[in-house]
Amino acid sequence: MPVPHYRQQLLPGFRLALGCALVYLSLIVVLPLTGLAIKASQLSLAEFWQTASGERALASYRVTFGASLLAATINCFFGLIVAWILVRYSFPGKRLIDALVDLPFALPTAVAGITLATLYAENGWIGRYLEPLGLKVAFTPLGIVVALTFVSLPFVVRTLQPVLEDIEPEVEEAAASLGASRFQTFVRVLLPTILPALLTGFTLALSRSVGEYGSVIFIAGNMPLISEITPLLIISKLEQYDVVGATALATVMLAISFVLLLAVNALQWWTAHRDGRDGAGTGQP
Amino acid sequence: MIGGPPPRRANAEPRWLRHLLIGTGLGFLALFLAIPLIAVFSEALAAGWGRYLEALVDPDAQSAIRLTLIIAISVLPMNILFGIAAAWAIARFDFPGKNLLVTLIDLPFAVSPVVVGLVFLLIFGAQGIFGPWLAANDIKVVFALPGMIIVTMFITAPFVARELIPLMQAQGREEEEAALSLGASGWQMFRRVTLPNIRWGLLYGVILANARAMGEFGAVSVVSGHIRGQTNTLPLHVEILYNEYNAIGAFASASVLALLAVVTLIAKTAVEWRIRRETRVLSESPAQERPVASASRDMGASAGSLRSNPSGEWP
Amino acid sequence: MSIEIRAISKRFGSFVALHDVTLDIPSGELVALLGPSGCGKTTLLRIIAGMESPDSGHILFAGEEATHVHARERKVGFVFQHYALFRHMSVFENVAFGLRVKPRKLRPAEAEIRRRVSELLKLVQLDWLAERYPSQLSGGQRQRIALARALAVEPRVLLLDEPFGALDTRVRKELRRWLRRLHDEMHISSVFVTHDQEEALEVADRVVVMNQGRVEQIGSPDDVYSHPASPFVYQFLGNVNVFHSRVHGAWADIGREQAQDLPADEATAFVRPHDIEIEHRPAPGGLAATVQQVHTVGPLVRVELAYASELIEVELTRERARSLALREGQQVWFRPRELRVFAVPQSGLEEGGSGI
């Protein structure tokens, strides 16, 4: 029997648990971030603007976002294929490959960075085949795309997999029985169903890529204005004891993080809301 | 139809397309995941086992390994406590601001590690908010172990809570209510019912948090100060050696971290498999119904009917 | 042990779950709380168990104030709708749980625990499943283990939330009879919640019919079925034909004695399908109608009569139907053997003809 939500008083430990969680979050996450906001607010607008919109900063945003968007797009395309074959087809070694998809979550970014840099260097395993084609990857912006594609690879696959698993075969069979071709079924039935998950995966990948540091710096070449990402610019400001500049850039980065986090939340709310309404339609007598 | 295996799905893709998709997907994964993973070990062993082991027993490498372990061991218990507390409050109670709390827990995933490092530098650094006070009392946070532990706590905060919240929401609160109505105290309920029910989810979260704690680079790099033999974690050690063109040394240390990643993936998959089995057993419809009388009358027959149950792969 | 419920009210936000509910549950009785979804029956059960606290009102156990006693100290056995068995414990450990968590001083010795648990497992006829885990049991078995677990702490009261709700019909009937027998052997005051009228009427000593957070009627199963105290109870327990006086003037005439004190346009007559007699000749108080359909449903024959613009449902025994030999389209006369008239505001009932 569906019962209206209980306000639970029987179970113990609410105050203790909430108290612990809030104290931990406040001390470790919220107050430090507020500290950054306070520091940023002490800067004059001119100071802030000078750094945040300086030539080098603008170039770094371009590089960071350009590479991140490209990496997220690549991952959307291939991530959809990988999720699809992992859910729909059977082939030898599937479980191993499924487990391998999480490697970027588990492999420290520094390791990924030096490995990719070595692989794509002129004499590296992969670089030596690209070199004759005139394709330079390591120490160019292209290298950044490769590193970001690696670190954000699992997001699209892992958000799509459960959604693909949940699609009932009947839906596709119904489309087929109504005369839709396989391609039409995919575009008109499947794609709309997985679109929110695909967008969520894209945004998560983007969010991760924009902030990424460890894997990029080894392969990027780090040439100001060309292949310098914003997190690296923050570090180099710090190394020059330019705390003001670093703070301004970090504030911009933090604001972008918030926007992307909100976007992910909105997408998830949208998905849940959509599914919830569908479910309510069949669930209520 | 007769003779050949029936198609799995009435509307499956044509064979050539299936092969193309599998080929593309696997090719992509090979290029981006498999080859780099193999390359780490291959580069590390490029000059033979002798040089490899030499690089690993190097005192700086040893101290980096030690520091990495110390950080992980200090961070994980806090993380577990926070994760359980947050999940208990969120999954078992309704309160205003709950959604905000959930979003806040996610926040560390969204913030760039470099920004995280900078934030703590701004608070505890020489020019930071508490900088003068810390200096006056001769407490070193930044460019020392405490700072590295704190940034790692920030970075890993969401892992355990993120795993436990959906798990506990799915399990519901009835078992805990049952325990209380049977006379259990709050602690007995937690230890005997809650904890056993969430143990696999907890382990899963800890595995992920551990991998991140040991592998974190950006944030730790900002607050570490890179003092060899003192504030170098393994990932920072890798960076230094690599920048010194000591490829063998860098990849030797990297291979330790890659091994950690492989172990993480194996453990994670095993736990995932375990969780999936438990939830599947729970969600599947109960075993074949049998009237009361026949159940008590004839044990043999009942056991037989249990064996013939199609969903009969029980532990 | 007796339970007294005094003027209990409970809201969840703006939703009134219970409104001024007063109820006595005498010692040793098996009582059913019966009502549709959302009528507050589960909330009342949870309040009795101490899992929810009322906004106002009191609960007395054996005459003693128990409103604010913690669930742990109430000595109440609660069987959850979905059993809430501890999934990581064997059947044996599930049943032993209540004994093992007792304070050290009160905790029985291990041998005693083993003896008590196996005794209970024998009582629920599942001693051969002791080492299994909940996931390996059928729904009916889980239900009985949940009951054994609740009984292990020797509760003063046994509370069951939709005890047979999740089971299929055959198992449900078996378990129903079995619960009744168990109750007769143990004589422990028991309250169970159900939305299934058949279940309540068959198992309980007394039935409490609830609707929208209020008690509609309390009585023996025969009482509530044969003498419903309100239109709701009439409609909730079994099929009923509803006749509004304005639409069906003649029916109000038949029930005139009962309808005297009621406003003329609100008097509504309720008649059970099996309380209607069909004749081939006009009889005093009989009304003419046309036979629309005749169905044989198991032991009964269901006849639909067209009267004015309404369909009237009548249930006959097979014998009676045979002797009447009804044909579709035939004109017949019918009259109620038994009916009740209630004042129901025009807006109160949506259906005019045969009710649910």
ipTM of the complex: 0.88
Q: Which residue has the higher pLDDT, B312 or B41?
A: B41
What rounded mean pLDDT belongs to chain B? 83
Can you give the CATH number for the domain in which A122 is found? 1.10.3720.10
Q: Please state which of the ranges B78-82, C18-22, C281-285 shows the lowest mean pLDDT.
A: C281-285
Q: Which residue has the higher pLDDT, A149 or C270?
A: A149
Contact (CB, 8 A) for A252 and B133: no
Q: Is residue A2 part of a domain?
A: no
- pLDDT tops 70 at residue C260: no
- Across A242-265, average pLDDT: 90
Single-letter amino acid code for the residue at A233: L
Confidence class of residue B307 from pLDDT cuts 50, 70 and 90?
A: very low
Instruction: Give A14 to chain C, closest Cα distance, Å.
Output: 15
Could you tell me if B213 lies within 8 Å of chain A, comparing CB atoms? no
Q: Is residue A201 part of a domain?
A: yes
Q: Which residue has the higher pLDDT, B9 or A130?
A: A130
Specify the pLDDT at position B267: 93
Q: CB pairs below 8 Å between A and B: how many?
A: 294
Q: Say how many C-beta atoms besides its own lie within 10 A of residue C195's C-beta.
A: 19
Q: Is residue B240 part of a domain?
A: yes
Q: Is residue B138 part of a domain?
A: yes
Q: Is residue B100 part of a domain?
A: yes
CA quadruple C84, C135, B166, A270: dihedral, nearest 10:
-100
- Across C39-53, average pLDDT: 90
Specify the pLDDT at position B306: 28
Q: Is residue B51 part of a domain?
A: no
pLDDT digits (tens, 9 = 90+) for B295-306: 332 322 222 222
Subunits with 3+ Cβ pairs within 8 Å of B are: A, C
Contacting B with CB below 8 Å, chain C residues are: 49-51, 71-72, 74, 76-78, 80, 82, 84-89, 97-98, 101-102, 125-126, 128, 133, 135-142, 144, 149-150, 152-153, 167-168, 170-171, 174-175, 178
Specify the pLDDT at position A137: 87
Confidence class of residue C214 from pLDDT cuts 50, 70 and 90?
A: very high
Specify the pLDDT at position C251: 52
Contact (CB, 8 A) for A156 and A194: no
CB contact under 8 Å between C52 and A9, yes or no, is yes
Instruction: Give C306 to chain A, closest Cα distance, Å.
Output: 29
Q: Domain range spanning residue A82?
A: 45-275
Specify the pLDDT at position B292: 35
What rounded mean pLDDT belongs to chain A? 86
**DSSP 8-class letter at C51:** S
Specify the pLDDT at position C209: 94
Q: Is residue B191 part of a domain?
A: yes
CB contact under 8 Å between C78 and B293, yes or no, is no
Specify the pLDDT at position B114: 93
Structural domains of chain A, count: 1
Residues within 8 A of B (CB atoms), A 191-230 only:
207-208, 210-214, 218
Contact (CB, 8 A) for A150 and A104: yes
Residue with the two structure tokens 């970090």: A250
Q: Say how many C-beta atoms besides its own lie within 10 A of residue C298's C-beta.
A: 7
- pLDDT tops 60 at residue B248: yes
Question: A123 Cβ partners below 8 Å, 6+ apart?
Answer: none
Alpha-carbon span C37 to C12, nearest angstrom: 15
For A217-247, letters b (16+ CB in 10 Å) and e give: bbbbbbeeeebbbbbbbbbbbbeeeebbbbb
List CB contacts (< 8 A) between B89 and chain A. 14, 17-18, 21
- pLDDT tops 70 at residue B28: yes
CB contact under 8 Å between B178 and C101, yes or no, is no
Smallest Cβ–Cβ distance between A29 and the set B22, B107, B123 belongs to: B107
Smallest Cβ–Cβ distance between A118 and the set B43, B109, B112 belongs to: B43
Q: Please state which of the ranges A218-222, B20-24, C19-23 shows the lowest mean pLDDT.
A: A218-222
- pLDDT tops 50 at residue B4: no
Q: Is residue B186 part of a domain?
A: yes
Q: Is residue B7 part of a domain?
A: no
Confidence class of residue A50 from pLDDT cuts 50, 70 and 90?
A: confident
Single-letter amino acid code for the residue at B85: A
- Across B163-180, average pLDDT: 91
CB contact under 8 Å between A91 and B129, yes or no, is no
Smallest Cβ–Cβ distance between A260 and the set B26, B110, B250 belongs to: B110
- pLDDT tops 80 at residue C349: no
Report the SS3 class of residue A39.
helix
Specify the pLDDT at position B212: 93
pLDDT digits (tens, 9 = 90+) for C299-331: 889 999 888 777 888 888 888 888 888 888 888
SS3 content of chain A, % helix, strand, coil (to 5): 80, 0, 20
DSSP symbols for B213-225 = HHH--HHHHHHH-
* φ, ψ for residue C62, nearest 5 deg: 50, 40
Q: Is residue A81 part of a domain?
A: yes
Subunits with 3+ Cβ pairs within 8 Å of C are: A, B
Single-letter amino acid code for the residue at A113: G
Length, in residues, of chain C: 356
Q: Is residue A186 part of a domain?
A: yes
- Across A80-89, average pLDDT: 93
Specify the pLDDT at position C257: 60
Specify the pLDDT at position C265: 66
- pLDDT tops 50 at residue C179: yes
Output the six-digit token pair for A225. 């204005």
List CB contacts (< 8 A) between C50 and chain B. 181
Q: Domain range spanning residue B242?
A: 58-285+293-305
Q: Kind and range of the H or E element at C333? A: strand C331-336
- pLDDT tops 90 at residue C9: yes
Alpha-carbon span C246 to C268, nearest angstrom: 9
**DSSP 8-class letter at A133:** G
Confidence class of residue A253 from pLDDT cuts 50, 70 and 90?
A: very high
- pLDDT tops 90 at residue A70: yes
- pLDDT tops 70 at residue B2: no
- Across A229-251, average pLDDT: 90
Smallest Cβ–Cβ distance between A106 and the set B24, B113, B264 belongs to: B264
H runs (alpha helix) in C187-227: 197-203, 221-226
Taking only Cα atoms into account, the Rg of chain A, rounded to an integer number of angstroms, comes to 23
pLDDT digits (tens, 9 = 90+) for A126-173: 988 988 888 888 888 999 999 999 999 999 999 999 999 888 877 887
Confidence class of residue A174 from pLDDT cuts 50, 70 and 90?
A: confident
Specify the pLDDT at position C249: 54
Smallest Cβ–Cβ distance between C101 and the set B182, B306, B314 belongs to: B182
Contact (CB, 8 A) for A24 and B77: no
Specify the pLDDT at position B285: 43
Specify the pLDDT at position C139: 87
CA-to-CA dists, residue C352 to C247, C288, C343, angstroms: 8, 18, 14
Confidence class of residue C345 from pLDDT cuts 50, 70 and 90?
A: low
Output the six-digit token pair for B121. 């530098």
Question: A110 Cβ partners below 8 Å, 6+ apart?
Answer: A214, A215, A218, B215, B217, B235, B236, B238, B239, B254, B257
Can you give the CATH number for the domain in which B235 is found? 1.10.3720.10
Specify the pLDDT at position A275: 61
Report the residue of chain B nearest A149, measured CA to CA.
B32
* φ, ψ for residue B285, nearest 5 deg: -60, 150
Alpha-carbon span B86 to C193, nearest angstrom: 34
Specify the pLDDT at position B9: 52
Structural domains of chain B, count: 1
Q: Is residue A37 part of a domain?
A: no
Instruction: Give C99 to chain B, closest Cα distance, Å.
Output: 8
Confidence class of residue A209 from pLDDT cuts 50, 70 and 90?
A: very high
Smallest Cβ–Cβ distance between B118 and the set A89, A95, A234 belongs to: A234
Specify the pLDDT at position C59: 92
